[in-house]
């Protein structure tokens, strides 16, 4: 603003308005300068037009801003339509909500149903309409593209829109971290997940499993049907508490009850429409997370409990003998602080956030996979019988023997393939890039492309269930529970044509620098719990209808009609004790 003699105003609407309006309402004309699409900054020899106070119109800023916004929208829209991304196949527009896009259709239906249907219709690369009029997002299950995105983990970061939720639930640990911070945290926590470290956890896992079997036997002494979904989350939480802290988080402990109750509450919230919409609204207006809203600012129950226990344990001297994750990381940090050349070490807050991450990422995801494997076994009595025979013929006291059983291994792989505990992963490019494609994609103008140009800020969704059940890879029986496919030579395509990951040729554990660091423990838990239950109980299908849903909070939901599955009829079991 400038003042000289009669009051005058120098006015420029914004850096991104590429024209100057000259006394628009007074002279009914506009002078256009700088026709190229460059930011409009004052030039040394240019004079900003002055509007006298008498000619000032209160509508001029509104009109100019509106015109600029329209121009920007048109430029952006035309640019998008001319791009490769704008010509990709798109899910049927008739199926999209005018304000929720295709997102709500995906969320309200069973896991993988819509993405799978659209993939069969359009191919492994297509667009969907996003909720709240955000940019279209690309759904991508092309194996070469997924391998590239996972391999370039620091170019394709996790969706920034989800970060406030991640911080609230699991803090600023390795799941939250990006770039150099992720590399640092990953390096610091790796000793707790080495082969030798996980092997030392196995006896503690087995102790928790034995307590589970005892509880189940006590509860079914009179026979009848009961629901294993009430037991599995409790034992996986107990296992994580033991191997992470050497602390009792069993179902009868106050801490265990608090976490399980909070988890059930969160699952209910996240499965609601409000739970679906909240992350989307935060993505559109991230400033909302700064508002003094209790639900957004207050830490979750699990975070409070874990931090409380952890801070208490941090007051104690490091234990040189314990093999739990917490003790390993404390020793590593403590020993590093004693070395002058050690450099940066994990601070206490980051250490506790990583322990919290192990808790929340470990107990529920593993639990849901086990529940669905047991449900599959209840529906495939011959597979169950064959597995039981293999287990009974083995030395069940030797954990290594149990983990190496070939049919149990095949069932674990098949269960993970069919039942990923996370629906998908969102990635956002922070740099321009080009994604290679295994399968050429035909654009709306008839052109065929073998790569996908990417601009910084563009988003992608990688659907795990689609990757794991693609009939062009796994065959026409891709959606069926057939453990034998892992045992017969030639049943599956070569490994380089299957999903990439650290174990099992399934996408569940991701790939690249951000692959799931706890995959060894997860596989160990699945095998030991499944083997123990099948050895001691006969699993029978109650006839209930089971539907699989995954909330935005990554919690698997089991919607049921009739009796709660999976169910166990203990009275008919030949292995009752």
What radius of gyration, in Å, describes the C-alpha atoms of the chain? 28
DSSP secondary structure code for residue 567 in this structure: E
CA dist 437 and 125 (Å) reads 9
Strands (E), 111-249: 125-128, 137-140, 156-158, 225-227
How many CA atoms lie less than 13 Å away from 359 in the CB half-sphere? 36
Report which DSSP code applies to 20: B
> Which of 461, 463, 459, 470 minimizes the C-alpha distance to 492?
470
Task: Enter the tokens of residue 264.
Answer: 């059930």
Helices and strands in the chain, H and E counts? 21, 14
Rounded Cα distance between 402 and 447, Å, is 53
Per the DSSP assignment, residues forming a β-bridge with 459 are: 428
Structure tokens at 176: 């939250």
CB 168 within 8 A of CB 302: no
CA distance 192 to 322: 12
* Other C-beta atoms lying within 10 Å of the C-beta of residue 37: 11
Residue 516 marked ligand-binding: yes
Binding residues: 516
Binding site for heme: which residues?
516
């Amino acid at each position: 603003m400038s003042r000289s003699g009669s009051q005058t105003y120098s006015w420029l609407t914004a850096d991104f308005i590429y024209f100057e309006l000259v006394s628009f309402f007074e002279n009914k004309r506009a002078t256009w300068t700088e026709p190229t699409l460059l930011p409009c900054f004052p030039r040394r020899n240019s004079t900003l037009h002055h509007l006298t106070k008498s000619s000032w119109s209160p509508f001029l800023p509104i009109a100019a801003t509106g015109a600029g916004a329209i121009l920007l929208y048109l430029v952006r829209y035309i640019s998008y339509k001319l791009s490769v991304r704008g010509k990709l196949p798109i899910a049927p527009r008739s199926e999209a909500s005018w304000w929720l896009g295709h997102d709500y259709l995906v969320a309200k239906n069973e896991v993988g149903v819509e993405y799978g249907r659209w993939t069969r219709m359009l191919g492994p690369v297509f667009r969907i309409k996003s909720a709240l009029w955000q940019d279209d997002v690309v759904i991508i299950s092309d194996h070469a593209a997924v391998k590239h995105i996972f391999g370039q983990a620091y170019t394709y970061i996790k969706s920034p829109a989800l970060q406030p939720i991640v911080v609230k639930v699991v803090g600023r640990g390795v799941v939250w971290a990006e770039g150099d911070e992720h590399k640092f945290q990953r390096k610091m926590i790796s000793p707790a997940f080495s082969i030798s470290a996980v092997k030392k956890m196995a006896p503690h896992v087995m102790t928790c499993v034995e307590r589970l079997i005892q509880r189940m036997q006590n509860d079914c002494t009179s026979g009848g049907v009961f629901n294993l979904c009430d037991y599995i989350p409790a034992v996986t939480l107990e296992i994580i508490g033991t191997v992470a802290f050497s602390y009792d988080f069993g179902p009868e402990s106050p801490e265990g009850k608090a976490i399980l109750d909070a988890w059930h509450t969160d699952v209910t919230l996240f499965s609601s429409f409000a739970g679906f919409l909240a992350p989307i609204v935060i993505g559109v207006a991230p400033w909302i997370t700064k508002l003094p809203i209790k639900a957004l600012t207050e830490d979750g129950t699990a975070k409070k409990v874990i931090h409380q226990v952890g801070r208490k344990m941090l007051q104690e001297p490091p234990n040189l003998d314990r093999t739990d994750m917490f003790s390993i990381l404390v020793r590593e940090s403590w020993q590093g602080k004693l070395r002058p050349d050690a450099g940066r070490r994990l601070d206490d807050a980051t250490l506790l956030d990583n322990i919290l991450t192990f808790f929340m990422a470990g107990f529920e995801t593993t639990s849901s996979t086990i529940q669905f494997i047991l449900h599959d076994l209840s529906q495939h009595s011959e597979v169950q019988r064959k597995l039981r025979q293999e287990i009974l013929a083995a030395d069940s006291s030797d954990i290594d023997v149990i983990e190496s059983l070939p049919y149990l291994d095949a069932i674990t792989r098949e269960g993970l393939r069919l039942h990923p505990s996370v629906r998908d992963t969102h990635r956002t490019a922070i740099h321009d890039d080009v994604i290679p494609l295994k399968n050429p994609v035909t654009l709306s103008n008839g052109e065929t492309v073998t790569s996908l140009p990417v601009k910084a800020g563009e988003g992608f969704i990688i659907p795990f269930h689609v990757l794991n059940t693609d009939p062009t890879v796994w065959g026409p029986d891709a959606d069926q529970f057939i453990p034998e496919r892992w045992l017969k030579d030639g049943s599956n395509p070569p490994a380089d044509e299957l999903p990439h990951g650290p174990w099992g040729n399934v996408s569940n554990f991701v790939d690249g620098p951000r692959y799931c660091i706890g995959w060894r423990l997860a596989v160990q838990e699945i095998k030991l719990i499944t083997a123990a239950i099948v050895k001691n109980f006969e699993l029978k299908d109650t006839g209930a209808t089971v539907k699989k849903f995954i909330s935005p909070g990554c919690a698997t939901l089991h919607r049921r009609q009739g009796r709660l599955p999976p169910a166990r009829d203990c009275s008919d079991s030949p292995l009752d004790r």
